[in-house]
């Protein structure tokens, strides 16, 4: 049995930026780039990609490194897809990563797993933005979520809300009366209204390329990105505007 399984949630069909996971950042596809960031973590026992079984996802394995398995499950019931992956890999817990976050930070993921080891009674651990909400609801794009397998199974058994089935952890963090939730403070340097690092729009992709070109592939931890953005007020102003207008889908 695995202690902690890293799952990169991926689909080739996107509501706003179709084909984004196949776009190249440096010499890797966006999906491969995210997967490699996750495999750099020290605290994960294994990493897989969980893809849907929709017609657009048939070629997703071509974008994934050969040493990382692709698990195929329900296209729309993503919660069921994760539970099925847990059954297949017999994992006690999961770290969920969204494939449209090229700057997901391995250090911040490892911190989640360490926190889970220190607090074995927890069902869900992630980061909290300064407004008090789980940071997964923000477009910051450097954070992941840890959850126990038992909590995911309980969620799957107790909700049929389409939003809960699509957004894997929504039922868990929305019901603190049922689940033991721990939210770590997000670093102030990156937890800002004028930071947007997820890739959801064409302009988000352009910003990701700008950051990659400025820092290079070996210097993309959140601290260096925060420092770069601090020196780029025009870029941050545009990110803030996008955050006001668009909600991550």
- pLDDT tens column, 102-143: 999 999 999 999 999 999 999 999 999 988 899 999 999 999
Query: pLDDT confidence of 249, banded at 50, 70, 90?
Result: very low
125 contacts 116 by C-beta, under 8 angstroms:
yes
- CA–CA distance, 168 with 174 (Å, rounded to integer): 11
pLDDT at 246: 80
C-alpha to C-alpha distance for 171 and 151, rounded to whole angstroms: 10
Q: CA distances (Å), 232 to each of 91, 227, 235, 237, in order?
A: 42, 9, 5, 9
CA trace torsion 191, 192, 193, 194 (10° rounding): -130
Mean pLDDT on 40-66:
91
Burial, 187: exposed, middle or buried (Cβ in 10 Å; 0-12, 13-18, 19+)?
middle
Q: What are phi and psi of 19, to 5 degrees?
A: 75, 15
Is residue 27 helix, strand or coil? coil
CA–CA separation, 155 vs 13, rounded Å?
25
CA distances from 49 to 10, 121, 128, 138, 177 (A): 7, 27, 25, 22, 31
CA distance 167 to 247: 14
Mean pLDDT throughout 8-29?
A: 87
User: The pTM is what?
Assistant: 0.95
What sign for the dihedral angle of Cα 69, 74, 78, 79? negative
- What domains does the chain contain, in order, with CATH numbers? 2-188 (3.90.550.10)
Question: Residue for token digits 């993503």?
Answer: 78
Q: How confident is the model at residue 216 (pLDDT cuts 50, 70, 90)?
A: very high
């Amino acid at each position: 049995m695995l202690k902690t399984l890293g799952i990169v949630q991926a689909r080739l069909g996107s509501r706003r930026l179709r084909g984004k996971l196949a776009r190249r950042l440096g010499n890797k596809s966006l999906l491969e780039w995210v997967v490699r960031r996750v495999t750099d973590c020290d605290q994960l026992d294994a990493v897989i990609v969980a893809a849907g079984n929709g017609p657009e996802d048939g070629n997703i394995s071509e974008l994934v490194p050969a040493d990382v398995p692709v698990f195929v499950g329900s296209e729309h019931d993503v919660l069921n897809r994760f539970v099925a992956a847990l059954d297949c890999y017999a994992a006690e817990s999961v770290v969920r990563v969204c494939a449209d976050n090229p700057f997901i930070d391995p250090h911040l993921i490892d911190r989640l797993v360490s926190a889970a080891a220190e607090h074995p009674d927890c069902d869900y651990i992630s980061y909290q933005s300064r407004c008090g909400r789980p940071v997964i609801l923000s477009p910051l794009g450097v954070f992941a979520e840890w959850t126990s397998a038992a909590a995911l199974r309980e969620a799957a058994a107790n909700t049929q809300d389409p939003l809960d089935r699509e957004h894997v952890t929504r039922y868990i963090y929305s019901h603190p009366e049922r689940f033991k939730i721990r939210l770590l403070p997000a670093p102030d340097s990156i937890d800002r209204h004028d930071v947007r690092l997820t890739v959801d729009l064409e302009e988000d992709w352009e910003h990701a390329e700008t950051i990659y070109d400025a820092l290079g592939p070996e210097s993309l931890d959140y601290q260096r990105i925060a420092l770069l953005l601090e020196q780029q007020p025009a870029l941050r102003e545009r990110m803030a505007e996008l955050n006001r207008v668009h909600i991550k889908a």
